Chain A
Amino acid sequence: MSTYATRKATNWIMLGLCGLCAITATVALIAILSYTIAKGAPAINLQFLTSLPQPVGETGGGISNAILGTLLLVGLACVIGIPVGLLAGIYLSEFGGHRFGSVVRFTADVLFGVPSIVIGMFVYALVVIRMGSFSALSGGIALAFIMMPIIARTAEESLRLVPTTIREAGLALGIPLWRTILSIVLPGALTGVVTGIMLGMARVAGETAPLLFTAFGNRLGFQGLDNPVAALPLQIYRYAISPYSDWQSQAWGAALVLIALVLITSVVVRILTRKRR
C-alpha cells in the first residue's frame, strides 16, 4: 500500500502547490496596490491635482497638465479608433464569415500583440517626421492604433451574441439591412460594445512607451494639437527615474491617480459584463 500512500501524498502536495501559486499571484497584486496607495496617497491633494509642475529645482507643483493631457490623448484615440474599430467589428460579425473575415480577425489579434513601443516608433516615422515635431495629435494616433483591434474584436463578439432572429425580424419589417444593423442589432449589443471601448480606453490610458516619441511630454499645459503634450504615464516615468525625492513622491501620487482611473474602469467593465451574463 506504500505506493498508494505516496500517490495520495503527491496528490495533496501538488494540489497544495497549485493553491500556493494562486496565493502568490494574489499577493503580488496586493503588494503593488497597497504600496502604491501608501506612497501615493500622501502626495495627493487638491493643489497636486490642479496645478502645473514647478520649474526644475523648485518644490511643489502638480500634475494637472498630465491629467488633462491623458484625457486629451485618450479622447483623440477614441475619436479615431472607435469608428474604425466599431465598423471593422460590424464587418466581422455581419459580413465577414468567409476567408477574408478570418484574415482580418487574425490580423487584429496579431496587431494587438505588436509591442506598443513599436507602434510608437511607427507613428514617429509616419507622423512626427512628416510634421516636423512631437505632437498631441501623433500621440492620439498611436493610442488609436492600439485601441482599434481591441474594439473591433470585442464589438464583433458582442454583436455575434445578438440572435439572428432579431436581424430577420428587422428585415421582415422591410427595414433595410444597414438600418437593421445600426438601429436594432447594435443597440442590442451595446453593453458589450461599450465594454470593449472602455477596456481599450483603460489599456491606452496607461500606455507610456508609444508616447515617448509622439506626445513626448510637456511641462506646460495644452498648447495645441501640433505641440507636445503631457501624459500621466510619461510624467510618472520621468519623475520616477529622476534623482529628486520630491519628484519621486509626485511620481507615486501620479501612479495612484493613474491606477485609480484604470482600475475603476476595469471594475465597471467587470460589473457591466457580469450583468450581461
Chain B
Amino acid sequence: MRGDAVFPAVTFLAALAIIALMLLIVYQMTIVALPSLERFGAGFLTGTTWDAVTEEFGALPAIFGTIVTSLLALLIAVPLSIGAAIFLTELAPSPVGNVVSFLVELLAAIPSVVYGIWGLFVLVPLVRDPLQRVLGDYLGFLPLFQGPRFGVGVLSAGIILAIMILPLVTATTRDIIRMVPSTQKEAMLALGATKWETIWRAVLPYGRSGIVGAIILGLGRALGETMAVTMVIGNAFKISPSLFAPGQTMASQIASEFAEATSDLYISALIEIGLVLLGISLLVNIMARLLVWRATRGVGGRLKT
C-alpha cells in the first residue's frame, strides 16, 4: 500500500511546482531588475529617455506604445470577433459554422513569427498605400493621421495584433454565447423581437461579463505579443500622437534590444520592463479568467490556444 501514500504526494508536488514556478518567475525577475529598480525608482515608469550610453532609462514610451497598439487592436478586433461569434452560434447552419470555427482555430495556431513575416511583406505595404494615403488625405487634419507614411509603425502593429487576437476573442465569445440559456432567447422571441433584437437585448446582455472577460483575455494576449509587433512597429523610442509614427512596445523593446544589451544596468532595465509587462499581464489575465470562469462555470475552463 506504499504506492497509495507516495503517488498522491508526487502529483501534489507537480501541482505545487506550477505555483512555485509562478512565484519563482516574479522573484527571479525582481532580483535581476533590482539594480534598475534601485537606481530609477518610480521614475522608471515616467521617464522618457532611453539612452544606453549615459545609462539613463525610462519606460514611458514603451508603456505608451503597448497601450496604444493594444487598444487599437481591441478597437478593430472586438466588433469583428463578436460579430463572428454571433454568426457562428446563432446564424450559421451547423456545417458552415463548423468549417468557419475550424478555420478560426487554425488562425490561432499560426505562430507569431509567421504573422510577423506576413505583416512585414504584405500588410506593411498595404498600410502605406492605400490605407495611410487615404487616412492621411481625408483625415489628415487629425494629429492621429499626420506625419510621414512609412507603413511600419503603430498602425501596422495594431492591425496585426487585431488579426492575432481575433481567434481567441471569437472562440471565447462563441463559448460564452453558447452558455446563454435558450429560455432567455425564447423569452425575448416570444415578446415579438426580431432575431437581432433577441441577440442584442437578451443574448449579449446575459453574457456580458463573460464577453468582457473574453475581450480582456484578448487584451492580455495583445499586451505581451512580441514577434509580429517587433517586426512591423519600426522600433523607435518616442511618444508620438500619430498612428503613422514608428513606435515601441514593452515586448518589442525587449526583443529588439536584449541581445545587444552590454552593461548590467542596461539588462537590468530591460528586465524591469519585463517585470512591468508581467505585472500588467498578470492583472489583466486574473481579471479575465475570473470573468470567463464565472460565465462558463460548470463546463470546465478549456484553455484557448
- The answer on direct contact between A and B (beta carbons under 8 Å) is yes
Are B15 and A237 touching (Cβ within 8 A)?
no
| A contact residues, total (Cβ < 8 Å) | 103
Cα distance A28–B77 in the bound complex, in angstroms: 12
Shortest CB–CB separation between residue A186 and chain B, in angstroms? 12
Given A24-B80, A181-B7, the answer on whether A213 and B259 have CB atoms closer than 8 Å is yes
Whether, in the assembled complex, A71 has its beta carbon less than 8 Å from a beta carbon of chain B, the answer is: no
Given A111-B18, A150-B303, A237-B227, the answer on whether A263 and B80 have CB atoms closer than 8 Å is no
Cα distance A62–B64 in the bound complex, in angstroms: 40
Are A96 and B15 touching (Cβ within 8 A)?
yes
For residue B305, which residues in chain A have a CB less than 8 angstroms away from its CB? 150, 199, 202-203
Cα distance A122–B277 in the bound complex, in angstroms: 12
Shortest CB–CB separation between residue B127 and chain A, in angstroms? 14
Contact with A along B55-96 (1 / 0, CB 8 A): 000000000000000000000000111111011101110000
Whether, in the assembled complex, B118 has its beta carbon less than 8 Å from a beta carbon of chain A, the answer is: yes
Shortest CB–CB separation between residue A272 and chain B, in angstroms? 14
Cα distance A17–B92 in the bound complex, in angstroms: 13
Are A240 and B231 touching (Cβ within 8 A)?
yes
**By DSSP majority rule, is chain A's interface helix, strand, loop, or mixed?**
helix
Are A154 and B22 touching (Cβ within 8 A)?
no
Known: A117-B255, A233-B111. 19 other contacts (CB 8 A): A14-B199, A14-B200, A15-B195, A21-B81, A25-B84, A25-B104, A28-B163, A31-B118, A32-B118, A36-B114, A86-B14, A110-B289, A114-B281, A118-B224, A122-B274, A148-B18, A153-B301, A153-B302, A248-B121
Hey, which bits of chain A sit against chain B, CB under 8 A? 7-8, 10-11, 14-15, 17-22, 24-26, 28-32, 35-36, 39, 83-88, 90-92, 94-96, 100-101, 103-119, 121-122, 124-126, 129, 145, 148-150, 152-154, 157, 160, 176-179, 181-182, 199, 202-203, 205-209, 212-213, 216, 233, 236-237, 240-241, 248, 251-252, 255, 258-259, 262-263, 265-267, 270
Hey, which bits of chain B sit against chain A, CB under 8 A? 1, 3-4, 6-8, 10-19, 21-22, 24-25, 28-29, 31-32, 79-84, 86-88, 90-92, 100, 102-107, 109-118, 120-122, 163, 166-167, 170, 194-197, 199-200, 217, 220-221, 223-227, 231, 251, 254-255, 258-259, 270-271, 274, 277-278, 281-282, 284-286, 288-289, 293, 300-303, 305
